[in-house]
Amino acid sequence: MSLFQNRWLRFPGNRQRQQYLTTVLHWLYTVTMSTQIEPFYQTLGSKIQQTREKRKMTQAQLGMSLNPPSTRASIANIENGKQRVLAHTLAQLADALGVKIQTLVPTSNRPAQVANPKDVELELKRKLNLAGPQLEKLAASLSATNSGRRS
């Protein structure tokens, strides 16, 4: 028996079926996508939870300290990395926990990559289709700009 053969799911026209199916598919997509935890938010949530527990606060207390207040479930979702955090909420969380935002935000473990000037020149040549003199002039300009930033 298919989903639409049930009596309670019978609709008078195809348009209603299509709307219902679209709604169900949207809901399934939302549920599926919300279960994927991004590493940044997982680490952020873990740091929030550790800091909250050190302060001997409950999730409900932390949620009530926000403006507008958040539910205990919302704080639990943030701590589990299942809910993204808006910038102003992150600032409020840090304030409520008595820490700087930098304490909560995960740092990248990857070192900053510095581009090799020769690679940049080749990429510019390929992407911009520049001839020799134009390419040399642009590369020199970029080198001058880059060396000015280092000092």
The total of other beta-carbon atoms located within 10 Å of residue 44's CB is: 21
* Model confidence at 73: pLDDT above 80: yes
Domain 39-104: give its CATH superfamily. Answer: lambda repressor-like DNA-binding domains (1.10.260.40)
pTM: 0.51
Residue 110 DSSP code: S
For residue 151, name the pLDDT band (cuts at 50, 70, 90). very low
Pick from 18, 104, 96: which is nearest to 57 by CA? 96
Give me 72's structure tokens. 């205990």
**Cβ-contact 82, 37 below 8 angstroms:** yes
pLDDT digits (tens, 9 = 90+) for 20-29: 666 666 665 5
3-state helix, strand, coil in the chain (%, to 5): 70, 0, 30
Domain borders along the chain are 3-34, 39-104, 117-150
Cβ atoms 125, 118 nearer than 8 A: no
Residues 42-56 have pLDDT tens digits of 999 999 999 999 999
